[in-house]
Structure 1
Amino acid sequence: MELTIQLSDKIYERLLSTGSRIQGTIGLINPHAGNFNEHVRHTDGYGNAGSRYIRLRHGRATVNEKRVCLSLRIDLDESNIIPSEAIEVESRQASNFVDEALFLINN
């Protein structure tokens, strides 16, 4: 099978200059042609400079000068895990980390 893909000039120039992968999707126009659409990478405007993070068993806590973020993902079918206990334990770990990180960031 042969497929013709149309890229934007910006993506094509970046592909040639960096030689790295560009992730995206192909929207088919017909069975033999499609348009490439790059995956959108959202940035929150806070940047990652000066960020500190800790990996938790089910997630991650991040601290920077402007905000604190805690993200947990617990599969309900995970054996030997009670979600409410995991939230309590890991949020306590994150809280200790946030206190230490904010102290380091502010001093």
Structure 2
Amino acid sequence: MNVTIQISDEAYKALMSGNGRLRGSLGMVSPTEGNFNAYRRDTPKPGNKYIKLPHGRASVGNSHVRLTLRIGLDEADIAPADAIMDESRMASDFVDKVFDGQEF
């Protein structure tokens, strides 16, 4: 079966210049015709700094500081409260270093 897919110029350019794969969704208009919508790519903004943590990420921007953690309750040998305390300390150290102008 052949299906015709409509794709944006931007997505096509990314396919041709990259590795040939894009994440997105396909919506069918009819049994033989569809539209492809690429998922938004999160790229760090210039000037933002971030650190990867075992269960999340901490970032410092021009106008905000963010800490995101996601800890699975079924994760072996992990107490969620301990992980939150440990990783928030790591994030706090990172933020201090960024504001002090130190390399990390």
In the alignment, structure 1 residue 5 sits paired with structure 2 residue 9: no
What's the CA shift for 1:51?
2.2
TM-score, length of structure 2 as denominator length: 0.77
Q: Provide the residue aligned with 1:52 in structure 2.
A: 49
Query: Judging changes above 3 Å, is the alpha-carbon distance between structure 1 residues 7 and 69 closer, same or farther for their aligned structure 2 residues?
Result: same
| Number of equivalent positions | 100
> Alpha-carbon deviation of 1:50?
2.2
Report the AA paired with residue 19 of structure 1.
S
**What residue number does 2:67 align with?**
70
The residue number in structure 2 matching 1:97 is 94
User: What is the deviation of 1:38?
Assistant: 2.4
Shift in alpha-carbon separation, 1:15–1:65, aligned structure 2, 3 A = closer
Q: Quote the sequence identity (%).
A: 45
Aligned residue among 81, 85, 105 for 2:82: 85
Deviation at 1:77, TM superposition (A): 0.4
Q: TM-score, normalised by structure 1?
A: 0.75
| CA root-mean-square deviation | 2.5
Gaps in structure 1 of 5+ consecutive residues: none
User: Equivalent residue of 2:101, what SS?
Assistant: helix
Cα deviation, residue 13, structure 1: 6.5
Structure 2 unaligned residues grouped into runs of 5+:
none
Contact 1:62 1:69 in 2 (8 A): yes
Q: 1:33 to 1:67 in 2, by over 3 A?
A: same
Q: How does 1:15-26 map to 2 (within 5 A)?
A: 15=14, 19-20=17-18, 21-26=21-26
Q: Measured at CA, do residues 12 and 65 of structure 1 come closer, stay the same or move farther in structure 2, by a change above 3 Å?
A: closer
